[in-house]
């Protein structure tokens, strides 16, 4: 076991003041130090895995809160804390306060940054005023604010080093995702797929905040940063202007494909990976064509933004299955792959060098909108999902209520990130278990106004009462290994550790620890409010800690607050409503757990 130098934030910043490209080396090195949690995704591969094992299956039943911190904000708390040296950093939902807490003094506030933003950005955020975390690099803390300001703060003092505006809220563009530091750049996506926003990933210079490149999800090649000959899809060149060719007229200009999820990075291949969201509108009949490149896995060169390969998972989306979920990098024997649990209910294993899909299997058996993904290279439908006409909102048409589609628009999993354990070689999926009726209808577009065009009704699958699952998945064979039912969707990010534990939070507010091999629940604690944040772990002064934000909200706070009913089971199903509001109320708290001293 290598010894790691515990660097204070000050020491790190001083050592690396020169040479921006070394921000990368620093982050790679720091992400290998299990004592710290240096980026929202844990490491560049998005594994959410820690080598710490002081807390393990033998002793976790003794885990208890050791200190807490109220954030002062009562909205949905997605994201989670970073720990760099002896300082913990995290941010809150709107107004997007950034806190730096001193771990040497029970979380005393070292500095606090509170931006002033126009509250009119709030109603343009479709699904609560969330943020998915801050990022660290080159001695700075980066926050992507609701109003699309990307700000760089001195990690020691909180002073603004630079600030840049990435988008325009008056056109429905907002910021909810965590920035991602790669080499000498800070990457941010953009939100607003329900407002006709054309999605993009943008890279800013880490030292100056100057815009270096922007790759759009649709448009001509100069916008999408694609090479007609060299960028490939399913092994073939994408051809000229592939980002407009499958759209009618100018619809690509309000095409959606937003980028509000997670990014991963392979330093050896020098590629970043992320997914694009739903095409705009939700009415498929109003936007004929495959709508490339919405619903797509992207592999881009982080220096130039050029796309190396793409894979579109849900061509001509009819159900709002955004493709933005995390791309977890793993090795399958010697093959370099990425594993992606898509909203559409399929778990993909994709060769991350070439973009070839190797496995695509349902990670929830109730998924019914497609029978399978065609992985036969000789087939005319190679790479495409085979859609069940019965659940096709396009086939059934506008003003027709297509019923019983599984999964619902929120997907078999939404942005809440899964974890991977190299010890068990299993992936741990925080999942939803909800179906829907979906009725598209014609809508008109006005900049800054919702551009949706569908009526939805969501409910648990027929015969089931659970609306969530926590699932262990074998990505090589594409199989569920074990699955724990949860009353509500599991909306938190998971954490796997070398102590053979997996942690996740529930919407009622429980933080739970389960055995990574069997799924047996070993410990739980009820925090003050529903958990939609991502669990982190770190070590300080020789002791391991688990940290998580509580604060119900996000989409779950909208759709599940008053409960879901299956109206096809009869309107009189009184008492069948499992309402989240019966279990939790608003909150905003960080809770830190550890084992009692002497263990």
Partner 1 sequence: MHISSLGRLLALALAASWATSAMAEPPAEPKAVKDADGKYLDSKGDPTFNVKADGTVDWYTYSGYRRYHAECHQCHGPNAEGSTYAPALKDSLKRINYAEFYGIVVGGKQTLGGGQEKVMPALGENKNVMCYIDDIYVYLRARSADAVGRGRPEKHEDKPPAASAAEQACLEKSS
Q: Which residues bind partner 1 (CB under 8 A)?
A: 72-76, 94-95, 119-120, 122-124, 126-129, 194, 401, 437, 439, 441, 443-444, 446, 449-450, 452-458, 552-553, 557-559, 561-565, 567, 571-572, 577, 581, 586, 588
Instruction: Please name every residue paired with 543 in a beta bridge, in sequence order, or none if there are none.
Output: 540
Reference 134, options 101, 168, 169; nearest CA is 101
Query: Which C-beta is closer to partner 1: that of 299 or that of 452?
Result: 452
Query: How many Å separate Cα 23 from the centre of its chain?
Result: 23
Query: Which C-beta is closer to partner 1: that of 65 or that of 72?
Result: 72
Provide the pairing of β-strand 200-205 with 271-275: unpaired
**Residue 349 parent element (H or E):** strand 346-351
Location of structure tokens 């998580």 = 548
**Nearest distance in Å: CB 75, partner 1:** 6
In whole angstroms, give the CA distance from residue 467 to residue 407.
11
Q: Take residue 555 and report the two structure tokens written for it.
A: 């989409």
Query: Which C-beta is closer to partner 1: that of 76 or that of 461?
Result: 76
**Nearest distance in Å: CB 293, partner 1:** 25
**Nearest distance in Å: CB 570, partner 1:** 9
Of the listed 128, 317, 320, 364, which one is catalytic?
320
Location of structure tokens 């407002």 = 195
Location of structure tokens 């919702």 = 450
320 is catalytic: yes
With the CA atoms of 561, 562, 567 and 570 taken in that order, what torsion angle do they form, in degrees rounded to the nearest 10? Answer: 150
Q: Take residue 458 and report the two structure tokens written for it.
A: 């969501």
**Nearest distance in Å: CB 442, partner 1:** 9
Query: Which C-beta is closer to partner 1: that of 34 or that of 169?
Result: 169
**Nearest distance in Å: CB 126, partner 1:** 6
**Residue 296 parent element (H or E):** strand 296-300
Q: Take residue 431 and report the two structure tokens written for it.
A: 């999942």
In whole angstroms, give the CA distance from residue 193 to residue 565.
27
In whole angstroms, give the CA distance from residue 531 to residue 448.
30
- Tell me how many degrees the CA angle 299-497-539 measures, rounded to the nearest 5: 105
**Nearest distance in Å: CB 281, partner 1:** 10
Query: How many Å separate Cα 235 from the centre of its chain?
Result: 27
Q: Which stretches within 204-263 are classed as H helix? A: 221-224, 242-245
User: Catalytic site residues?
Assistant: 320
């Amino acid at each position: 076991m290598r010894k790691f130098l515990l660097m204070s934030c000050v020491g790190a910043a001083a050592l690396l003041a020169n040479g921006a490209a070394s921000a990368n080396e620093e982050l790679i090195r720091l992400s290998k130090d299990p004592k710290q949690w240096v980026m929202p995704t844990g490491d560049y591969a998005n594994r959410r895995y820690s080598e710490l094992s002081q807390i393990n299956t033998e002793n976790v039943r003794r885990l208890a809160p050791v200190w807490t911190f109220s954030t002062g904000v009562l909205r949905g708390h997605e994201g989670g804390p970073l720990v760099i040296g002896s300082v913990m950093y995290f941010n809150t939902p709107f107004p997007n306060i950034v806190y730096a807490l001193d771990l040497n003094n029970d979380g005393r506030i070292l500095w606090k940054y509170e931006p002033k933003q126009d509250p009119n950005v709030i109603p343009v955020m479709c699904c609560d005023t969330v943020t998915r975390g801050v990022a660290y690099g080159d001695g700075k803390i980066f926050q992507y604010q609701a109003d699309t300001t990307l700000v760089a703060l001195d990690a020691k003092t909180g002073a603004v080093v630079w600030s840049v505006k990435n988008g325009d809220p008056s056109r429905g563009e907002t910021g909810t995702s965590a920035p991602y530091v790669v080499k000498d750049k800070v990457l941010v996506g953009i939100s607003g797929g329900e407002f006709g926003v054309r999605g993009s990933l943008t890279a800013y210079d880490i030292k100056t905040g100057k815009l270096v490149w922007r790759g759009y999800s649709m448009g001509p090649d100069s916008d999408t940063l694609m090479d007609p000959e060299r960028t490939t899809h399913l092994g073939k060149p994408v051809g000229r202007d592939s980002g407009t060719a499958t759209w009618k007229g100018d619809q690509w200009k309000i095409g959606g494909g937003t980028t509000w999820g997670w990014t991963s990075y392979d330093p050896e291949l020098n590629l970043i990976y992320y997914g694009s969201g739903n095409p705009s509108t939700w009415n498929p009949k109003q936007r004929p064509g495959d709508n490339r490149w919405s619903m797509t896995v992207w592999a881009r060169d982080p220096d130039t933004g050029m796309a190396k390969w793409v894979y579109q998972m849900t061509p001509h989306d009819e159900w709002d299955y955004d493709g933005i979920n995390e791309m977890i990098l793993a090795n399958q024997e010697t093959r370099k792959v990425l594993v992606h649990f898509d909203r559409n209910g399929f778990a993909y294993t994709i060769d991350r060098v070439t973009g070839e899909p190797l496995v695509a299997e349902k990670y929830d058996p109730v998924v019914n909108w497609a029978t399978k993904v065609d992985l036969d290279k000789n087939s005319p439908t190679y790479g495409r999902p085979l859609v069940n006409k019965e659940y096709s909102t396009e086939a059934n048409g506008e003003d027709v209520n297509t019923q019983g589609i599984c999964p619902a628009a929120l997907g078999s999993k939404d942005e809440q990130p899964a974890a991977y354990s190299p010890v068990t070689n299993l992936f741990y999926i925080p999942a939803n278990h909800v179906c829907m009726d979906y009725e598209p209808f014609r809508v008109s577009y006005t900049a800054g106004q919702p551009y949706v065009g569908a009526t939805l009704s969501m409910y648990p699958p027929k015969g089931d009462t659970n609306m969530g699952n926590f699932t262990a998945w074998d990505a090589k064979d594409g199989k569920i290994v074990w699955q724990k039912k949860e009353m509500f969707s599991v909306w938190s990010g998971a954490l796997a550790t070398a102590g053979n534990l997996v942690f996740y939070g529930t919407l009622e507010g429980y933080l739970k620890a389960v055995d990574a091999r069997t799924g047996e629940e070993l410990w739980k604690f009820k925090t003050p409010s529903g958990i939609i944040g991502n669990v982190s772990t770190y070590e300080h002064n020789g002791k391991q800690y688990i940290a998580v934000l509580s604060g119900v909200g996000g989409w779950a706070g909208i759709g599940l607050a008053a409960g879901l009913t299956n109206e096809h089971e009869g309107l009189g199903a009184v008492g069948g409503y499992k309402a989240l509001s019966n279990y939790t109320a608003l909150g905003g708290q960080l809770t830190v757990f550890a084992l009692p001293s002497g263990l």
